[in-house]
Amino acid sequence: MTSLLRILPLPALALFLMTSCQPEESTLAAASPPAVAGPPQAAKKAHTLTSHGKARQDDYFWLRERDNPDVIAHLEAENAWLMERTAHTDTLQEELFEEIKGRIKQDDRSVPEKEGDWYYYSRFEPGQQYRIHCRRAAGEDGPTGAEQILLDVNQLAAGHDYYSASRLTVSPDGNLLCFAEDTRGRRIPTLRFKDLANDSMLADSISGTSGNAAWANDNRTLFYTIKDAGTLRSKSILRHKIGEPVAQDTLVFDETDETFYCSIRRSRSGSYLFINSSQTLSNEVRFLDADDPKGEWKMIQPRRRKLEYSVEHAGGFFLVRTNHQAENFRLMRTPTDDPGIRKWQEMIPHRPDVLLSGFQVFRDFLVLSERSNAQTRLRVMEWSGSNDHAVVFEEDAYVVRARGNRNFDSDTLRFSYQSMTTPPTIYDYRVADRSRELRKQDEVLGGFDSDNYRSERLWIEARDQTSVPVTLVYHKERAGGGPAPLLLYGYGSYGASMDPSFSATRLSLLDRGFIYAIAHVRGGQELGRAWYEDGKLLNKQNTFSDFIDVAQALIAQGRTSSDRLFAQGGSAGGLLMGAVLNQAPELWRGVVAQVPFVDVITTMEDDSIPLTTFEYDEWGNPADLAYFNTMMAYSPYDNVGAYDYPDILVTTGLEDSQVQYWEPAKWVARLRELKSGDGEVLFRCQMAAGHGGSSGRFRRYLETALVYAFLLDRVPPQS
């Protein structure tokens, strides 16, 4: 069978091979990759970088020349080599892709969400790649009347290799729609507008944005964020009046500190607009009366180093979540006419064992999102402080989040619940009597039965006696079956917690005998803010050590063995993969690194590329020798050596704006140059995609099928 990688237009070379290189009478099934004598070897071109008086030789620095035909030719050759080396798994890839796609309900739709006079929802039609966004009028008992299609993204995407329509924002009166259109995947979308009353697109079009926008209450004025063309930092807020030339838009805020980025949003009450200017360790918020779009923006609290806060509005006050004298955050309130820090009054105190990760306000009650002991939870209370309680669940490891809740005046909380064995489930929760109504559980086709799977939460002791939480899921037939193939996933950066969520896609591995495990390593916030602080900057090595220690413990427990152990991570999790490959190459049978951040020093020394300047407080500024030495000790690219690496699959996108494609391209070239042993390094660069991969409902699963085939192909037979 022909590989699906060859019959869909993802890598440019694959499309070229399918069309230009084939005789007219040939069929797609006859397409085959060109004969290649060996893996592509990038030309070495001497380039010296100097830091703190030390020279670093980077022979592959030239691969960052995006417009160089030799670079494109090299990436296309990598794609051709990947196709040749994985050709023997074509049938398996196709089987996996069809299996994954077959679990998806073709005509699925979301639960309608009330906002103003309408209920909003989205739906899919069988065989289509993109959502159709719709609404129906709000009646007394729910949606009523005919459906109105706001956007059929399938129509908009026609003719594009990549297409995304996101951040749909409707004006308060429900008549105008703003959305962010991206046709490259580089996350620099254009804002487009539609008159919903007349079902017609407007001439207004604003390019170079972040996609972030908010309406004023006059229903004609929109505030939006512009990105810096070079660094892609969201740096400016402008005001636009519908129907007026974009060239006349007014700058209302410009963030001049290149370590900060800005955004704008409406309060849930609809009374205010907020500009948030933030970086890793501090931020400041300005506010404006949403009824007065040309009015004066005022400050909540000026920025201070290491002061973080976020703001909402309810009951005549601003509500402030802050780390002020509270490592795990606390909740304050302050008057709207004098909101500075000296007027902040405590509502929810700091707790050393509970992280206040967020909150959501309603007219009559408050919802707190918390983390305790590596577990999410929702806490609900009325504004009087009465009826204070947590929403209770039975499983040991799960994910619960407030979901949607567009209607500020609602007496019902909508939340989502899932675990590694329970598909995403939507509930409406009546706060007054604590009753819940099941609104939807994602339907998993193909005979899925949650009783066939088991999930566990383990605590594994790291080398410094810190207990690291680990969550496992596997088919019940694996219980007690001896060492199994195991895929260990990790991230461990930015305080992002890797929660034990459900994946219908993952069933293809579990049903073939895999255990899937998440190592909740330091650098996330599963155990509170200290868990994050202990896995960043000068403490970054803890992230890598935790992952390695978890892997070794899983082997020692007999759950897997080094010839059956695989690892996977993406972006900053790709950094994790690169580091553990250098520090413990013998542990793994195979490693998957997706859009990996692996050239740490060179990237963090270059303030002209995206993400560098406002990430100094995450990784450190290498201009400081202490941070430079710490980064140099773990940077995957700088520590490639003559090691017996396992098989490695690396993926990226040419349009990636977060981790530039050249980082993994250079890393692969250096790995091939310096490694010893028989481990194979494969590389795929999607030529029409960015950090998030392909667009479309099903195309993304082509890469999943490739990854799973890579793993399954390397599982040794049971002895």
pLDDT reported for residue 384: 85
Token digits for 472?
């496992």
**What is the arithmetic mean of pLDDT over 148-172?**
92
Q: What is the rounded average pLDDT for all residues in the chain? A: 91
From 122, 171, 545, 571, active-site residue: 571
Q: Order of strands across the sheet with 118-123?
A: 113-115, 118-123, 132-139, 142-152
* Residue 571 known to be catalytic: yes
Q: Which amino acid is at 69?
A: P
Q: So what's the pLDDT on residue 126?
A: 87
- Is the pLDDT at 686 greater than 70? The verdict is yes
In degrees rounded to 5, what are phi and psi of residue 257?
-80, 115
The residue from 656, 657, 694, 695 that is catalytic is: 656
DSSP 8-state secondary structure symbol assigned to residue 342:
G
Question: Once rounded to an integer, what is the mean pLDDT over residues 433-437?
Answer: 95
Strand residues in 291-349 grouped as ranges (E): 298-301, 309-314, 317-322, 330-335, 345-348
**Reported confidence tier of residue 258, pLDDT bands at 50, 70, 90:** confident
Q: How far apart are CA 26 and CA 512, in angstroms?
A: 36
Residue 401 CA to residue 620 CA, distance in Å, equals 32
166 carries an active-site annotation: no
Listed in sequence order, the residues at least 6 apart from 552 whose beta carbon sits closer than 8 Å to its beta carbon are 587
Position with higher pLDDT, 21 vs 262: 262
Active-site annotation holds for 278: no
pLDDT at 383: 92
Strands ordered across the beta sheet of 261-266: 261-266, 272-278, 283-289, 298-301
pLDDT, mean of residues 692-703 = 69
List the single range of 19-28, 115-124, 126-135, 623-632 with lowest mean pLDDT.
Answer: 19-28
**Predicted local distance difference test score (pLDDT) of residue 482:** 81
Question: Which pLDDT does position 673 carry in this prediction?
Answer: 97
Catalytic hit among 204, 691, 694, 695: 691
pLDDT at 18 > cutoff 80 = no
Give the residue, 15 or 232, on which the prediction is more confident.
232
pLDDT, tens digit (0-9, with 9 covering 90-100), for 540-558: 999 999 999 999 999 999 9
Instruction: Quote the pLDDT of residue 24.
Output: 29
Angle at CA 329, nearest 5°, toward 325 and 334? Answer: 80
Higher-confidence residue: 307 or 22? 307
Looking at residue 478, what is its pLDDT? 76
Q: What is the mean pLDDT of residues 497-501?
A: 96
Residue-wise pLDDT for 29-66, tens only, equals 323 334 446 899 999 999 999 999 999 999 999 999 99
Q: CA-CA distance, 201 to 214, in Å (whole number)?
A: 19
Residue 591 pLDDT > 80, yes or no?
yes
Which of 353, 356, 354, 290 has its CA nearest to residue 319? 356
Residue 713's pLDDT is what? Answer: 97
Q: What average pLDDT does range 390-404 have in this prediction?
A: 93
d(CA 612, CA 629): 18
Secondary structure (DSSP) of 46-86: --EEEETTEEEE-TTGGGG-TT-HHHHHHHHHHHHHHHHHT
Q: Tell me: the pLDDT tens digits for 211-236?
A: 999 999 999 999 999 988 777 889 99
Q: What is the pLDDT of residue 698?
A: 74
Would strands 515-519 and 565-570 be described as parallel, antiparallel, or unpaired? unpaired
When pLDDT is averaged across residues 137-155 and rounded to a whole number, the result is 94
Nearest residue to 60 (alpha-carbon basis) of 70, 570, 51: 70
Q: What is the dihedral of CA 47, 73, 665, 509, to 10 degrees?
A: -170
Please state the rounded mean pLDDT for residues 84-92: 97
- Kindly list the structural domains of the chain, giving each domain's residue range(s) and its CATH number in brackets, ordered by start: 4-15+49-102+476-638+694-712 (3.40.50.1820)
Q: Is the pLDDT of residue 1 over 60?
A: no
